[in-house]
Amino acid sequence: MELQLQIKMNPNLYLRDPDSTGLGRNIIKHSIKLIHDIGFEDFTFKKLAVEVGSTEASIYRYFENKHRLLTYITTWFWTWLEYQLIFHTNNLRHPKEKIDIVIKLLTFEVQDKFIVEHIDKSLLHGIVICEGDKAYLTKNVTEDNKSMLFKPYKDLCHRIAEIFLELNPEFVFPHSLASTLIETAHRQMYFKEHLPRLTDFGKSKAVRPLVGFLQHLVFKSLEN
Amino acid sequence: MELQLQIKMNPNLYLRDPDSTGLGRNIIKHSIKLIHDIGFEDFTFKKLAVEVGSTEASIYRYFENKHRLLTYITTWFWTWLEYQLIFHTNNLRHPKEKIDIVIKLLTFEVQDKFIVEHIDKSLLHGIVICEGDKAYLTKNVTEDNKSMLFKPYKDLCHRIAEIFLELNPEFVFPHSLASTLIETAHRQMYFKEHLPRLTDFGKSKAVRPLVGFLQHLVFKSLEN
DNA sequence: TTTAAAATGATAGTATTACTATTACAAAAC
DNA sequence: GTTTTGTAATAGTAATACTATCATTTTAAA
């Protein structure tokens, strides 16, 4: 059973809603492929236009610049992840189980329950790992934050923080632990692949040891 | 008592050693100021040349491109931080004390024992927080890693990992915890300032609560 | 002290990037 | 059947990211 999904995005993220037209959806689809393949630095609207079979000018009608597009797709990812989290923790009673779901979601170990035909979530996950932080590591953070561009990330973080508090209501760092968990999951996956000496996971494809590390980190931290 | 310091950098980081000439040191000095002020994205060699009072072409004689320059200054930072760590943990016996030093170093709470007249370490620290990750979050990681550009970061990480093992020789994730500690320290400082809802620290300038969080995270994790 | 080598400055130039503007035509909505 | 909307095509600009050349200054070795 899979659910059709359409995520309503903050209009400040785009000039014209890419989800409202075929060209728009194509832009999203091919930008995910292209950024994944050549990296955000080398990614340009010109190259994207070629892939999409359209023109640079048309893409500029949808997004102010490539940085906004990056913010759009990463923000989409956070929203989708929160949906997944809600779905998969729906009938769980014990916060420990919920936390296990959170960790499995962050390491992409959970069956995706939503269909979005034009978005390859596996590629998108790769982008979030490699390029995601660049969405907020800019001189525009404050302004972008005021436009609520990062709200989905904060919402996800807050939801995870609430689960932490279920397990330990006295815990004083629920949000910091949540953002640390999210960032660490991605960063350690990146290190594992590219700079393995910064981890203890070896170079095998298995995410098992990473899951173990994250569980250890979170559950130890939440102990009384 | 302060010590004169000259850090020998990996020659793969530069075309001409910036530490060997006045112009080179000026390039470093002003690039730190400029990147701090306008951010790495907007930073160009043209603008830097104006600040330095030299020409674009001259700067290209020292660094292949601006990304290499960023890697140079962040790598310099990691080396300096390891020196500081060695110095400040020199006479300490208990690993707990050493870990406290590590955390204080990462949050810039420790008296700097080294003089480097042309490098403003406080500005540099700000750059490492905001832009540091961009040095390795590129499509060139693997190649750059083969050229040993990230060795100082790995060395620092390994040294911290060894301190963790002093406290708990059974601990299986010393490197992952070390890299997580470093990354988390910086990321939480960034969040505290720009996206405070992702933390539990409030917006005061005090780093005290962050230090508390990092101590909690590490010491809990290292418990048996 | 002379001389050669190295470093710098000045100038110029190229390809690419990151846009903006204008026009025009086709499709769809009212 | 007209207006709105989406798209294409073309053109153009300012800035970026370099590279090349050559004259001049500085430095270091003989």
Which residue is closest to B157 within chain A, CA to CA? Answer: A198
Give the pLDDT mean for B159-180: 97
Token pair 């609430």 in the structure block, residue: A162
Which residues of chain A does B136 touch, with a Cβ-Cβ cutoff of 8 Å? Answer: 194-195
How far is CA A47 from each of CA A28, B139, B171, rounded to the nearest angstrom? 14, 17, 48
Whole-number distance in Å between A59 CA and D5 C1': 15
The radius of gyration of chain B's CA atoms, rounded to the nearest angstrom, is: 18
Give the pLDDT mean for B211-215: 97
Inter-chain contact B197–A41, Cβ cutoff 8 Å?
Answer: no
Whether A171 contacts chain B with CB within 8 A: no
Collapse the DSSP code of B21 into the 3-class scheme (helix H, G, I; strand E, B; otherwise coil) and give the result: coil
Collapse the DSSP code of B119 into the 3-class scheme (helix H, G, I; strand E, B; otherwise coil) and give the result: coil
Expressed as residue numbers, the domain containing B149 is 3-222
* Alpha-helical regions (H) of chain B: 22-38, 45-52, 56-60, 66-89, 95-106, 121-131, 141-146, 151-167, 174-194, 208-222
Which residues of chain A does B198 touch, with a Cβ-Cβ cutoff of 8 Å? Answer: 153-154, 157, 175-176, 178-179
**Residue of B144, B180, B220 best to disrupt the A interface, most CBs of A under 10 A:** B180
| pLDDT per position as a tens digit, B129-164 | 999 999 999 999 999 999 999 999 999 999 999 999
What amino acid occupies position A129? I
Closest-CA residue to B48 (of B68, B31, B28, B25): B31
What pLDDT does residue B203 have? 67
Give the span between the Cα atoms of B51 and B110, in whole angstroms.
31
Instruction: Say how far residue A191 (Cα) sits from the centre of its chain.
Output: 17
Inter-chain contact B180–A180, Cβ cutoff 8 Å?
Answer: yes
What pLDDT does residue A145 have? 96
Whole-number distance in Å between B15 CA and D23 C1': 23
Instruction: Say how far residue B192 (Cα) sits from the centre of its chain.
Output: 18
Give the span between the Cα atoms of A50 and A68, in whole angstroms.
19
What pLDDT does residue A77 have? 96
Give the pLDDT mean for A149-168: 98
Inter-chain contact B142–A194, Cβ cutoff 8 Å?
Answer: yes
| pLDDT per position as a tens digit, A4-36 | 677 889 989 998 888 888 888 889 999 999 999
Number of domains in chain A: 1
Closest-CA residue to B163 (of B84, B80, B89): B89
Whole-number distance in Å between B154 CA and D27 C1': 38
Which residue is closest to A173 within chain B, CA to CA? Answer: B200
What pLDDT does residue A3 have? 63
What pLDDT does residue B70 have? 96
Give the pLDDT mean for B27-48: 94
| pLDDT per position as a tens digit, A171-205 | 999 999 999 999 999 999 999 999 999 999 976 66
- Strand C bases near protein CB (under 7 Å) are 7-12, 16-22
Instruction: Say how far residue B189 (Cα) sits from the centre of its chain.
Output: 13
Inter-chain contact B198–A154, Cβ cutoff 8 Å?
Answer: yes
The average confidence (pLDDT) of chain A is 92
CA distance A176 to chain B (A): 4
Q: Is residue A2 included in any domain, yes or no?
A: no
- The CATH number given to whatever domain includes residue B186 is 1.10.357.10
What amino acid occupies position B51? E
Mention every residue, 6+ apart, whose C-beta is less than 8 A from residue B3: B113, B114, B115
| pLDDT per position as a tens digit, B8-25 | 999 999 999 999 898 899
Inter-chain contact A138–B39, Cβ cutoff 8 Å?
Answer: yes
